[in-house]
Chains A and B, each alone.
Chain A
Amino acid sequence: MQNHVISILVNNEPGVLAKISGMFYRRNFNIDSISVGSSEKYGMSRIVISFTGDSNEFEQLVKQLHKLIEVVKIKKLENDSLVRELCLIKVYYNDSKAREDLISYSEVYKNKIIDISQDTITLQIIGDPDKVNNFIKLISKYKIKEICRTGTTGMNRG
């Protein structure tokens, strides 16, 4: 079992996401994350999928994706590729000590503090999924109100 990330260029037509996710369901593929947005090409979107499975499963996934008419191009991201994820975390703090600690952890992780209220602080983390996971682990002793992650996106170097 290994983590694979692929980047797919698709025609931006209605139902394309339904077709892709329907195929995953039909073929029993379990997806870690999926992120979608417009691309540099007019009328096309780029979908980045993170998937954990053995090499046979991964091969089937790519082949099945290729069969979808809307899928124009599939690129496998290499191990050294540029992979990022954005995560927003809203955490409760009981006292000023906790608040100061969260702020100083965030400095180390180069997080942004994007909101603060009477009892919560909201942080923005950008990095590869490992960094995000590590930070969430680090602050797990605090009471987390909400976590929102975009899922992995990325591209190959150069």
Chain B
Amino acid sequence: MANNNNGKKTSEIIIDTLIKQRVKHIFGYPGAAVIPLFDELLKRKNEIYHVLVRHEQCAVHAADGYARSSGKTGVCIATSGPGATNLITGITNAYMDSIPLIVITGQVSTKKIASDAFQEADMMGITLPITKHNFQIRSADKAEEILLKAFRIATEGRPGPVYIELPIDVQYETKLNNEKSLSNIQGFNPVMKGNSKQIKTAAELISKSKKPLFFIGGGVILSDACNELHKLISLSKIPVVTTLMGKASFPETNELCLGLIGMQGRKCANYAVQNSDLLIIAGSRLSDRATGKFNEFAKKAKIIHIDIDPAEIGKNIPAEVPIVGDVKSVLSDLFYALSRISNKMPYKNWTGKLIRMNKKCSCSLDINSKLISHKKVLYELQNILNDKDIIVTGVGQHQMFAAHFLKRNLPRTFITSGGLGTMGFGLPAAIGAKIANPEKRVFLLDGDGSFQMTLQELATIMQENIKIIPIIFNNSYLGMVAQWLRLFNDNKLSNVSLQNPDFVKLAEAYSLNGIKVTRSDEIKNAIDQSINEKNTTVVEIKVNPDEDILPMLKSNTSLDKLFGPCVPDNYFKEE
């Protein structure tokens, strides 16, 4: 397995092992408790490139954006105490969306741990509920073994962040024994292959159902199963809905793709789920945002639930046919099971009906109002976008507008914070995505509130000479909260109005460019200009502050309670 590191310092072993794991980029921020590691990074800078961010939270988000956009494992590093606690939001964000990360921090020396030393924080305790696993390295002899295990745990089975704590004295320690490091972990054997009997049952149910529907979550993208899904849908002609994390797992311009499901879902997608008689759920943990009220979710449907994490099956919604396994393997097996039996597609009418509903569901985004509509921006953007371009979003109204209306056709081209809904995720994640995909265009869609939570990363963009295309939807509001207050709080707007800086001047302060857009007819030129500039050019678009993202659901109501001007009263009653 690994070669002998005898005589090497822990810090050297760590960086060496990262390089051997083909880690090319690492995001971080130095401090007293990680000096040996950073010394090593300096020595090996031609093999592993460290991106210096401006806040540790952004180191995790950048590593996260790097991982989401590339499928690789993101790695980040920070010092002990405040450096480490600043990571928490980022780690939780990655944990909620099952993103593979290795998070390394320093710690005070082993002799001082538990003495409340300077910059000591109980990170082993703090990270317990927000990581897939955590390790403390207590000797040089264990360093390589723990790192190898951490990579396995982060990537195998359901992915997730793994935290590693490295006390400062251990970083200086030298490996003494000759033992080779092993990465086998007793009791860690994720089930990859689905039960063939269950898969056969699923295939039979599909061939007999009248209203089947694929319900796809982010797991399909994480396990690189989009080709398998595509083959299965081409064979079966069953329509598909996706969760926010599953967006773009199947081409959204395909007529069988009904698009986003859930609280901010498309009406035809929500209709399909509530009227389906067989839901084939793959790689989704069935979050409340995707399902609406649990006990009114897809009441007419039998449920086939495919997931690598058995704990997700039956957690929120009971399943008739549970299939534990890697979605890639299960969808491939399901394809063969389905092609072997005679499938006369008794659901042809249903598919036809949903395709028709899908076509009618798409409204025009080309709105030329005096105050700029979010939709108009997306309309112009959609015309500019290529399939390979990467979209990264912040969190808020702009995110949901984009998730609902923007059509994406390739996996890993729509990067967004799902489970945790972390404002400020966008800018650092876009930096990570660009570093992982230097040849691709990376667009950041952000809100004025969300952007300002991590705007200091403009300095990282300046220093690293990173070229992204940031588009700020500026409505001078915390738009999503304002919308909730308008709709559900008698229009009493508490603390959601934002007095903002001039984003163009702000960009200029960081030696970047900026363009302000105040009229609909300027949008296209501004985005084009931002694309063509050598420097990152912030496009600030003044959008209508009173625009709501509709349709939507009230919290804890069922999917067919979707409301909005485009949803007719009897839409969900129709058979």
Tell me the A residues contacting B by CB distance below 8 Å.
11, 14-15, 18-19, 22-23, 26, 56, 59-60, 63-64, 66-67, 69-73
Residues of B within 8 A of A15 (CB): 124, 128
Residues of A within 8 A of B568 (CB): none
B185 interface neighbour in A60, A63, A69, A73, Cβ under 8 Å: A69
Residues of B within 8 A of A71 (CB): 187
Report the nearest A residue to B157, measured CB to CB: A67
Task: Given A11-B186, A69-B187, A71-B187, verify A18-B311 contact (CB < 8 Å).
Answer: no
Task: Given A18-B125, A19-B128, verify A63-B310 contact (CB < 8 Å).
Answer: yes
B129 within 8 A of A: yes
14 contacts between A and B (CB under 8 A): A11-B186, A15-B124, A15-B128, A23-B129, A26-B129, A56-B314, A59-B314, A60-B314, A60-B315, A64-B311, A69-B132, A69-B153, A69-B188, A73-B187
The B89-140 residues at the A interface (CB cut-off 8 A) are 124-125, 128-129, 132-133, 136
B309 within 8 A of A: yes
CA distance A26 to B131 in the complex (A): 13
Residues of B within 8 A of A72 (CB): 186-187
The secondary structure that dominates the A interface is helix
Report the nearest B residue to A44, measured CB to CB: B186
* B557-574 Cβ-contact flags toward A at 8 Å (1 or 0): 000000000000000000
B310 interface neighbour in A26, A66, A69, Cβ under 8 Å: A66
The smallest beta-carbon distance between B114 and chain A, in angstroms, is 12
The answer to whether B133 touches A69 (Cβ under 8 A) is yes
Residues of A within 8 A of B129 (CB): 22-23, 26
The answer to whether B311 touches A66 (Cβ under 8 A) is yes
Q: A22-B129, A56-B314, A59-B314 are known contacts; what are 4 more A-B pairs with Cβ within 8 Å?
A: A22-B128, A64-B311, A67-B309, A69-B188
Give me the 3 closest cross-chain CB pairs, A-B, nearest first: A72-B187, A63-B311, A69-B133
The smallest beta-carbon distance between A2 and chain B, in angstroms, is 18
The smallest beta-carbon distance between A21 and chain B, in angstroms, is 10
CA distance A18 to B126 in the complex (A): 11
Report the nearest A residue to B311, measured CB to CB: A63
The smallest beta-carbon distance between A28 and chain B, in angstroms, is 12
The smallest beta-carbon distance between A13 and chain B, in angstroms, is 9
CA distance A155 to B325 in the complex (A): 31
Residues of B within 8 A of A59 (CB): 314
Report the nearest A residue to B185, measured CB to CB: A69
